[in-house]
Amino acid sequence: MRGLEMGHALKAAGGLSLLLFGATAFAAEPELYFITPVDGAVVESPVTVRFGLKNFGVAPAGVEKAGTGHHHLVVDADLPPLDQPIPATENYIHFGGGQTETSVELEPGKHTLQLLMGDHRHIPHDTPVVSEKITITVK
């Protein structure tokens, strides 16, 4: 009988540890990346840019839903302040409709691209969801 009680105690302890630590231990971090172009690519204009996203959802601007946001493409610029709405300029292109790809006209030469997710108000999330900055060359 003692072995049975020990088995129940271990099962309960295992369930409690999963309850207490499971969400953080197994939750995957969001990953934002470029499908195309890749870092170092030599391309022609217009440049087709496809956005990749794992462990996070896409929702149009104005739709408030946890774990979602919409894309912003940062072209030839640094990230904006992460506690303010992302500016809407030629360097910060908004995709508030929930788009996941675009075609961008770029002049010949080297350019940097970076992706940044914004919430329903165009503000980066508390833990920013941001891609690596890549460099491409337009012929």
CB atoms under 10 Å from CB of 122, counted, come to 19
Q: What pLDDT is attached to residue 54?
A: 98
Mean pLDDT (whole number) for 121-128? 97
The yes/no answer on whether domain 31-138 falls in CATH 3.40.50.300 is: no
Tens-place pLDDT, residues 69-84: 999 999 999 999 999 9
pLDDT category at 94 given cuts 50, 70, 90 is very high
Structure tokens at 4: 């049975």
Tens-place pLDDT, residues 8-67: 444 444 444 444 444 444 579 999 999 999 999 999 999 999 999 999 999 999 999 999
**Neighbouring-strand partners of residue 137:** 42, 110
Is the pTM higher than 0.75? The answer reads: yes
Q: What pLDDT is attached to residue 17?
A: 40
Q: What pLDDT is attached to residue 59?
A: 96
> In the chain, where do the E strands start and end?
31-36, 42-43, 47-54, 57-58, 68-75, 92-94, 101-104, 109-118, 134-138
Q: Where are the domains of the chain?
A: 31-138
Q: What pLDDT is attached to residue 27?
A: 72
Mean pLDDT (whole number) for 105-131? 98
Q: What's the rounded Cα separation, in Å, for the pair 63 and 96?
A: 10
